[in-house]
């Protein structure tokens, strides 16, 4: 991949995540989970908007035909209107586990939102997280369990494969995905990362190649459809967290990062990086709700 850094948005996020491109407003959105903030950066005028959120915002989706977002807060799902702070709860996730919180999430091309969970209690060891989907009627469904840190959710261009990882295991898995039934089947190891490179957020481009931000690895890696390394983008920070492709020509790569838990000083840690590339992105799917008012 050819990539030229064209802009750095200096936000110094503790844990920047969940980045996505909004073609309707020409802006890139992301969250700083630990600081409870939602960001939107408008590409045409370099204007940055920042909103406080009522809980840690782990992930979110743009909603079809609406200005509200579907927010994956630490405790569950809600519709959130950034400008007014209006909040409408949909459901709590794993309410019987107070240490649980939502983590990485993304919308599939059929309009369902998927999200995984993790434990915030460092004293609790074990794989207690799970992977869920929320459909247009707000029905929550569990698909995978025994996950420590759910990440890397994305789909192949044809929507016949879902990609997902449990970050500490350092392996991205690929599942056969039924677009109608929402069933996952025949999970296989797709990519295993190098030592000290932990797979975080992922995206699939128009070629069907997977791009993965690698926490601790200081890079974004692009893998071909067979899981072989196609190319690497070295980053000026050690903890890139999530990626998106967008812009007017669908060729800009957006990368969030984190300054939390750094073992050394990194002046640019926590910023959003924007690269002009030779890649072509796919449209970001929006959540399709039958009841968002």
pLDDT for position 66? 87
- 217: confidence class by pLDDT, cuts 50, 70, 90: very high
Short-list 61, 185, 49, CA closest to 112: 61
Distance CA 98, CA 78 (A): 18
- 240: confidence class by pLDDT, cuts 50, 70, 90: very high
Domains of the chain and CATH, by start: 3-277 (2.120.10.30)
Query: pLDDT higher for 263 or 117?
Result: 117
Encode pLDDT of 95-140 as tens digits. 988 888 999 999 999 999 999 999 887 666 567 899 999 999 999 9
pTM above 0.75, yes or no: yes
Judge residue 116's burial from the number of C-beta atoms within 10 Å of its C-beta, 0-12 exposed, 13-18 middle, 19 or more buried: buried
Q: 57-62 and 69-73: which strand pairing?
A: antiparallel
Distance CA 216, CA 198 (A): 6
Distance CA 132, CA 47 (A): 34
pLDDT for position 119? 84
Distance CA 198, CA 41 (A): 27
- The chain-wide mean pLDDT, for the chain, equals 95
pLDDT for position 1? 94
Joined together, the tokens standing for residue 128 give 């207690």
Measured distance between the N- and C-terminal CA atoms of the chain, rounded to whole angstroms: 42
């Amino acid at each position: 991949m050819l990539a030229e850094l064209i802009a750095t948005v200096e936000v110094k996020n503790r844990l920047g995540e969940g980045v996505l491109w909004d073609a309707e407003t020409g802006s890139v959105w992301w969250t700083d989970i630990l600081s409870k903030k939602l960001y939107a950066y408008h590409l045409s005028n370099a204007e940055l908007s920042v909103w406080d959120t009522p809980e840690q915002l782990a992930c979110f989706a743009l909603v079809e035909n609406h200005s509200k977002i579907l927010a994956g807060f630490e405790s569950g799902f809600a519709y959130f209107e950034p400008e007014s702070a209006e909040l409408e709860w949909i459901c709590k996730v794993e309410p019987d586990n107070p240490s649980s919180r939502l983590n990485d999430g993304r919308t599939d091309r059929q309009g369902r939102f998927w999200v995984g969970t993790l434990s915030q209690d460092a004293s609790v060891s074990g794989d207690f997280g799970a992977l869920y989907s929320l459909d247009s009627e707000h029905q929550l469904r569990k698909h995978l369990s025994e996950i420590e840190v759910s990440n890397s959710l994305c789909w192949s261009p044809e929507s016949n494969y879902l990609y997902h990882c449990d970050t500490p295991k350092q392996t991205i898995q690929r599942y056969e995905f039924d677009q109608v039934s929402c069933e996952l089947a025949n999970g296989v190891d797709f990519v295993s990362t190098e030592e000290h490179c932990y797979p975080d957020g992922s995206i699939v481009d128009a070629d069907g190649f997977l791009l993965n931000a690698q926490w601790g690895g200081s890079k974004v890696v692009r893998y071909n459809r067979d899981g072989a390394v196609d190319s690497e983008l070295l980053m000026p920070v050690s903890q890139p967290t999530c990626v998106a492709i967008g812009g007017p020509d669908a060729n800009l790569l957006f990368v969030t990062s984190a300054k939390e838990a750094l073992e050394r000083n990194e002046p640019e840690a926590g910023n959003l990086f924007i690269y002009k590339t030779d890649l072509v992105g796919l449209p970001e799917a929006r959540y399709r709700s039958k009841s968002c008012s």
